[in-house]
Amino acid sequence: MEERTGIAASPGVAIAEAFILDSQQFPVSHRKLHPSDVPAEKKRFLRAVKDAIAEVLLIQKTAAKQAAGEHLKVFDAHVSMLKDATLQSEILNEIEARCCTAEFAVSVAIKQQVRTFMANDFLKRLVHDLYDIQHTLLRQLQGSNSEGLSQLTENAIIVAQDLTPTQTVTLDKDKVVAFATDAGGRTSHTAIVARALGIPAVVGLGTITADIVPGDMLIVDGNTGTVIINPDEDVLDTYHAKVRNIKEHEARLARLCRLPAETRDGKRIRLYANIESPGEAAIAVERGAEGIGLYRTEFLFFEKGSPPTEEEHYEAYRQVVRTLGGRPVAIRTFDMGGDKLVPGEASTERNPFLGCRSIRLCFQHLDLFRTQIRAILRASTEGPISILFPMICNLREVRQAKSVVHEVMADLDNEGIRFSRNVELGIMVEVPGAATIIDLLAREVDFISIGTNDLVQYTLAVDRGNECVSNLFQPAHPAILRIIRDVIATGNRNRIRVAMCGEMSGDVVYAVLLLGLGLHEFSVSPAVLPKIKEIIRSVTSEHAQEVARTALSFDEPERTLEFLTDWTHHVLPEIT
């Protein structure tokens, strides 16, 4: 028996035999083509691009049925890259200039892109995505199958050097019960995908692929970051008991879906879901969501690679509102830029995460912005809708956004088109500048939603996708907790709703702390709705406030996180 320790990337425990997944390498030779064959080779490449886009969209659709969440954004990026006219042109030029195969041209062009991205600190994080689309294109060009996973006939634990997000999301959950990798970190795309899909995972194990042979019995404990190779009988018995307890706990969670989210002393909490496409709305309702706290709308751009029409907008919103059956839906306007580029518009900014993105981009493309607002307002006749503006930094942006809404309302009035006049307007608080003037911003809006993913990133100057500094991405940092405390307190004083829709709100370790800070609205991935509800129903308001006071008393995030983890494990040992 041998025990290895890595990074706990996705919670859960699994026991099965090892399946070694070799990194699939596609042979690419510099084979010269006859000039007369070049036009046909170009067509072959363009056909492969079309097939690759169709494959990625199908994978995204399949993933959305399994679980909603941030992980779906990676496929938006892949589609955008595959459709990128500049990249396609470079590859076609390589085929013609070198009289080479499409495979060789793809490899050359991607290598050039990688060099460009690696020279930019903000684009560096997308290098894995470039390799992922290269992998997809070469597989289409060479007609390869899905990397040996079709050989699986029974439950197995995948062991690999690394897994791309695409590989992770296509794992058959009926047969793949966990995975363990040499590389990776907790904040990588692959780890985020694993958590969203509920697949236990331990990453960053160093040389696990060299230490395991196919058929070895493995235990993967995604809660502790432990992998046990060929465990003895006593250890196996212990972990089999853990697996049984986890399954019993999951059955209890399923029964919570129809119960209210309220504390033991009767304090009612609103528990909403984050979704990224219309198909996820039904999953959210099934898991007990009382509404949609964040409807991300970027998929409308990336699905077709061009701006959606007003009718396409309207149908996407109407469908969700109808599915929610009278429950509220908060629709966030386009949040693009940074790592999500407007199709057909390449980013040349030095620091795209600090540049023209989100609401700033909307103001630069007012025609697209107004089209979206029109569709949202039209859909408001189907049920309660609110509009959420992302990345607000100052009062002028709020007032300009509100002005656009009022102008569109006037246009609809003049055209005799019906809409609700009770559409609430809210803002995302995700930059320190907005948090600092929240007292001023609160006077302008009906509600506030705290986006912790960007808030932590911008406050601590940490790119969570960069594994070199991802350990500094700390939601438990005193600065973050104080900002959240002050935003919630200001909102409550001004009698406006305050919600939270970032990953922090869906992390069971932070749930009681947030309750104690006065948060009354949580918006989380549908997959974790029952767990957050269980935490809420297990404490009193007074107890939550005590936890918050203690957590805020620590001066180091590590101590805060340790306290919150220990407390949560003590109250609900099955959940952590």
d(CA 548, CA 529): 21
The sign of the dihedral angle between the CA atoms of 105, 110, 115, 119 is positive
How is 188-238 classified by DSSP, letter by letter? SHHHHHHHHHT--EEE--SSHHHH--TT-EEEEETTTTEEEES--HHHHHH
Question: How far is Cα 133 from Cα 80, in angstroms, rounded to an integer?
Answer: 10
Cα–Cα distance, 53 to 304 (Å, whole number): 10
Catalytic residue among 100, 362, 393, 501: 501
Domains of the chain in sequence order: 2-24+147-252 (3.50.30.10), 35-142 (1.10.274.10), 268-526 (3.20.20.60)
Max CA separation in the chain (angstroms): 79
Tokens of 39: 């036009």
Is 189 among the catalytic positions? Answer: yes
pTM for this prediction: 0.73
Q: What is the DSSP string of 508-522?
A: HHHHHHHHHTT--EE
Query: What token pair was written down for 534?
Result: 């269980």
Among positive and negative, which fits the CA dihedral 243, 185, 71, 391?
positive
Nearest Cα to 46, choosing from 91, 79, 6, 2? 91
Question: CA 101, 107, 113: angle at the middle one, nearest 5?
Answer: 135
Residue 513 phi, psi dihedral angles, 5° rounding:
-55, -50
- The answer to whether residues 105 and 45 touch, using CB atoms and an 8 Å cutoff, is yes
Rounded Cα gap, residues 424 and 446, in angstroms: 6
**Residue owning tokens 């992390």:** 507
Decide if 501 is catalytic: yes
Q: Would you call 334 exposed, middle or buried from its count of C-beta atoms within 10 A (0-12, 13-18, 19+)?
A: buried
Closest CA to 167 of 55, 303, 9: 55
**Cross-strand pairs, 431:** none
Q: How many CB atoms lie within 10 A of CB 534?
A: 21
> Using CA atoms, how far apart are residues 550 and 534, in angstroms rounded to an integer?
22
What are 448's strand-pairing partners? 427, 498
How far is the C-alpha of 75 from the C-alpha of 339, rounded, in Å? 12
Q: Which residues contact 64 (CB under 8 A, 6 or more apart)?
A: 72, 276, 277, 279, 280
> Which residues does residue 295 pair with via DSSP β-bridges, in sequence order?
275, 331
131's tokens: 């390799």
C-beta atoms surrounding 32 within 10 Å: 12
HSE-CB for 272 with a 13 A CA cutoff = 25
Total length of the chain: 576
- At residue 24, φ and ψ (nearest 5 deg) are -75, 120
Q: Is the dihedral of CA 96, 97, 101, 103 positive or negative?
A: negative
What's the CA gap between 377 and 436, in Å, rounded?
31
Strand partners, 337: 340
Contact present, 479 and 459 (Cβ < 8 Å): yes
Q: Retrieve residue 376's tokens.
A: 């949202």
What letter would DSSP give residue 10?
E
Q: What residue has token string 């399946």?
A: 19
DSSP state of 319: H
Assess contact for 463 and 484: CB atoms under 8 A: no
Among 341, 513, 519, CA closest to 429: 519
Q: What is the pLDDT along the chain (576 residues), one digit of tens a residue?
A: 899 999 888 888 999 999 888 655 566 767 789 999 999 999 999 999 999 998 888 877 766 665 555 566 677 778 888 988 889 999 999 999 999 999 999 999 998 888 888 776 556 667 778 888 888 898 888 876 555 555 666 889 999 888 876 777 777 777 889 999 988 877 676 777 788 778 899 998 988 888 898 889 999 999 889 999 999 999 999 999 988 888 888 888 888 888 999 999 999 999 999 998 888 899 899 999 999 999 999 878 766 657 889 999 999 999 999 999 999 999 999 887 644 444 445 445 555 556 667 888 888 889 999 999 999 999 999 999 999 999 999 999 999 999 999 999 999 999 999 999 999 999 999 999 999 999 999 999 999 999 998 999 999 998 776 667 778 889 999 999 999 999 999 999 999 999 999 889 999 999 999 999 999 999 998 888 999 999 999 999 999 999 999 999 999 999 999 999 999 988 887 666
Query: Tokens representing 62?
Result: 């399949």
Say which of 189, 313, 477, 543 is annotated catalytic.
Answer: 189
Mapped onto helix, strand or coil, the DSSP state of residue 253 is helix
Pinpoint the alpha helices (H) of 307-394. Answer: 310-324, 359-364, 366-379
CA distance 454 to 357: 13
Among 525, 544, 540, smallest CA distance to 288 is for: 525
Q: Which residues lie below 8 Å from residue 459, measured CB to CB, with a gap of 6+? A: 432, 477, 479, 480, 483
Per-position DSSP letters for 552-568, written without gaps between them: HH-SSHHHHHHHHHHHH
